[in-house]
Structure 1
Amino acid sequence: MAHTLSLPRNARPSFPASFPVLLALLFAALSAGLLLDALLAQVDGERGIAPVAASSDIEVNGVEVDVRGKSAEEARENGWREAQRKAWEKIKGPKLADSQLESLVSAIVIEQERISPGRYIATLGVIFDRTRASAYLGGDQAQQSSAPMLLLPVTYTGGTATVYEMRNPWQRAWAEYQPGRSPINYVRPTGSGGDSLLLTSGQIQRRSRTWWRNILDQFGAADVLVPVAQLDYRYPGGPVAGRFTARYGPDSRVLGSFELEAASPDALPAMLNTAVTRFDAIFRKALADGKLTPDPTLNLGSGEIDPAVARLIEIGRAMRARENALLERADEIAPAPVAAPTATPDAPQVLNRHTVQFATPNAAAFDATLGQVRGIGGVRSASISSTAIGGTSVMQVTYAGSLDQLAAALRGAGFTVNQGSTALAISR
């Protein structure tokens, strides 16, 4: 015979007195786990763009030439000589003979060129050796240098502000910038790992000296520079208007502003490179006027790290340690680099930019391939222009040689190379 238990209608099940506390603790644990997963997801992925190694050489980009000659070779030589003269004028050097100028040039960077049997049209970059050129530039070497300045390039487009949350053209322009003779001591984060959590557009609006001091200490900087780019895409494929503002310090003081316009999205990188040069001029003038001194209020306070900042720093360090481990693993399997060609004063080294596609089935393969290409002799820099984890990514390689020579160097490093007329595709 079945027995049933009946309860009075007004009876309610009873729980231990500690049940609300246990429920709250359980909810807090779940929330913390979800929050940690969200933070790790935010700092993971391909966000960083490693800055190019800063060189003390004097680099002048965007020199346009249009010259003629009896042959293609003669026209090209004439173009290089004219580019050297124009670049020397840009940095306000004294008048020198062509033979003297050639002895100061360490490299010619070919940005774009068109060659015909008797004409040479190109956009070139000229790199002057700082040690040899300083004898003619004189007083420029004696100028003061700024304290280390943390650089936070902010982009406003489509109503959204980004810094390092995702890769963007403004971040890339600063990462690839060569300060050359600039007295500004730029501290350029890679933007990977915890940088996307610490360095945000919201941080720019904070006035807390404690927050700023803790962040600046992580990067060894004394103050902060904020170049702001507001980009307005008029319509798909149409002009891009840029409004640029130079800000400085924890109070976001304005140092200057200007406007530029690109004819199309394809011309945007060139416009941003011009903007970077304009910003450097603004920062230089501020330094000369005594406005770029570190804010003394950043050194005030107890020195205790805010718990929220400490947690973000901890996550960032963990991500950076993982990235370093991947790079070390890539270095272990990387072949010995091929000796780079030596540039002589009488024979400037010619640098060409080549497009290289490479298979990236996962993040480890991406990091390993990029590290190995950068380690090949003759490679001046290798920057990513397109990332596709699980597919094919694209890098732009600045190399001291032709496309054929780069292909040979890559084959010597153990890559399988498929060569096209203007690009290479490599794989393992």
Structure 2
Amino acid sequence: MAKNLLRFFPAALAMAAVLASGGSVAQGDSAQSRNGAGRPAVGTAGSFEIGGVEVDATGKNASAARLAGWRLAQRKGWQMLSRRMGGGGGGLSDSALDAIVSGIVVENEQIGPNRYIARLGVMFDRNRAAAILGVSGKILRSPPMLVIPVEWSGGAGRVFEQRTDWQDAWAAFRTGNSAIDYVRPSGTGPDSLLLNAGQINRPGRLWWQALLAQYGASDVLIPIVHLSRLYPGGPIVGKFQARFGPDNRLLTQFSLRVASGDALPALLNAGIKRIDQAYQAALANGMLRVDPGLNARLPEAEIAPTETDESLAADAGVLESAGAGNLSVQFDTPSASAVEATERTLRGIAGVRSAVTTSLALGGISVMRVGYDGDVATLKAALEARGFVVTLGSGAIRIQRPRASLPPPDVQPENATAG
């Protein structure tokens, strides 16, 4: 079964009351016509999410078994989150978990008279969980990026003219673990007129500036899917493209296939996951950055660089001629242990007085304040000797290890099938 947010029914009301001391349970969108407005986006930027938690629980009735399954999912999810953050996966009491769980997401469930088998997702409040784990809950994110999800099916390209499965999938995508700040319109009001398949091919910067200003975004992301159905109810092939910017630049493209029409949500979810990975990798590599033409007529305060994107301009000579002193060093932090390891490496370099992480983004790019006495070229050489790729900027340094290729998605490529 494709991922669906939990819809309440009478048997769940008692469980919701038990969990009321903590967070809320995620709910599905209300019934809407497929020809009506799009689906409102799920807001989860303030959460850590752990998906794919398998549970098998029993109880004296269906309601008790389901509650036991949710409790078990919370415990297992917390252990997984703790290990991801570099901890030992230590447990918390159920009452403590109730206080930090912000939602339960049903990916697949089977409910019997006294047994509950399910695959669930658990969302933890970012600030509360981070405080318990001893890490910062702040995540460095990209500038706000307007998402225009284009679905091509039956020879027509649609965004918000009609409600589409692609727009639904993007609205349901939980962004808490992503470094991309997605701005996802709901398809109401003028969205269907302003955001359409024709707009993505208009390169005029002044029009794009006016459009992005209405949505509070700095640039645009254009995820596209071409859906081909071999026959009604049969296999579906999705050809995905991750595009960005007012020039509609192609970042990556790939094809996925599922065996039946019922698996379309799984196909789209896998495509979104892989597109998000591509956008995050492009952000980390400096490829995904705000188009300079979109900032040409904006006041300087509005085009100030963000922590993750624009602080490493190409004027390295300014930094080299002035000497290092106190520097901002941006570095990848896939886990909490990576923070300590990078700090230790910096402190081991001759001339470094101090190295303290001032902004932590687990799974993204963190910022370290480094006190250094010496020439920046010497520091650059020392870092490169330790295996880092070093980019010099105006008052900042970006260091990173060579990046591995992205992991494959859960759905098989086009020449395979998935149910």
TM-score (norm 1): 0.53
Which residue identity lines up with residue 56 of structure 1 in the other structure?
A: G
1:237–1:109 Cα change, 3 Å = same
In 1, Cα distance between the equivalents of 2:112 and 2:55?
11
In 2, Cα distance between the equivalents of 1:290 and 1:235?
42
In 1, Cα distance between the equivalents of 2:134 and 2:142?
19
In 1, Cα distance between the equivalents of 2:38 and 2:178?
24
- Aligned counterpart for 2:84 among listed residues 77, 92, 96: 92
| Equivalenced residues, count | 258
Q: Between the two proteins, what is the percent identity of the paired residues?
A: 42
- What's the counterpart of residue 56 of structure 2? 67
- Aligned counterpart for 1:52 among listed residues 42, 55, 79: 42
Which residue identity lines up with residue 131 of structure 1 in the other structure?
A: N
Matched, 1:241 2:242: no
Q: Quick check: which has more Rg, 1 or 2?
A: 1
Matched, 1:161 2:148: no
In 1, Cα distance between the equivalents of 2:176 and 2:76?
18
Which residue identity lines up with residue 207 of structure 2 in the other structure?
A: W
Per-residue deviation at 1:254?
2.2
Matched, 1:267 2:256: no
Which residue identity lines up with residue 208 of structure 1 in the other structure?
A: G
Per-residue deviation at 1:74?
6.3
Which residue identity lines up with residue 241 of structure 2 in the other structure?
A: T
CA RMSD of aligned residues (A): 3.1
Per-residue deviation at 1:162?
1.1
Aligned partners of 1:50 and 1:175 also within 8 Å: yes
- Aligned counterpart for 1:199 among listed residues 172, 177, 195: 195
Which residue identity lines up with residue 84 of structure 2 in the other structure?
A: K
Matched, 1:81 2:63: no
Per-residue deviation at 1:118?
6.9
Aligned partners of 2:47 and 2:123 also within 8 Å: yes
In 2, Cα distance between the equivalents of 1:273 and 1:166?
20
- What's the counterpart of residue 298 of structure 1? 294
**Richer in helix (by share):** 1
Aligned partners of 1:223 and 1:295 also within 8 Å: yes
1:139–1:230 Cα change, 3 Å = farther
1:302–1:74 Cα change, 3 Å = closer
Which residue identity lines up with residue 263 of structure 2 in the other structure?
A: A
Which residue identity lines up with residue 77 of structure 1 in the other structure?
A: A
1:128–1:143 Cα change, 3 Å = closer
Alignment of 1:126-137 (within 5 A): 126-135=122-131
- What's the counterpart of residue 315 of structure 2? none
In 1, Cα distance between the equivalents of 2:259 and 2:77?
25
Which residue identity lines up with residue 96 of structure 1 in the other structure?
A: G
- What's the counterpart of residue 151 of structure 1? 147
Per-residue deviation at 1:120?
3.3
Q: 1:99 aligns to what SS in structure 2?
A: coil
1:237–1:125 Cα change, 3 Å = same
Q: Deviations over 1:95-126 (max 9, x none)?
A: 32343686243433334322446753212121
In 2, Cα distance between the equivalents of 1:158 and 1:74?
44
- What's the counterpart of residue 280 of structure 1? 276
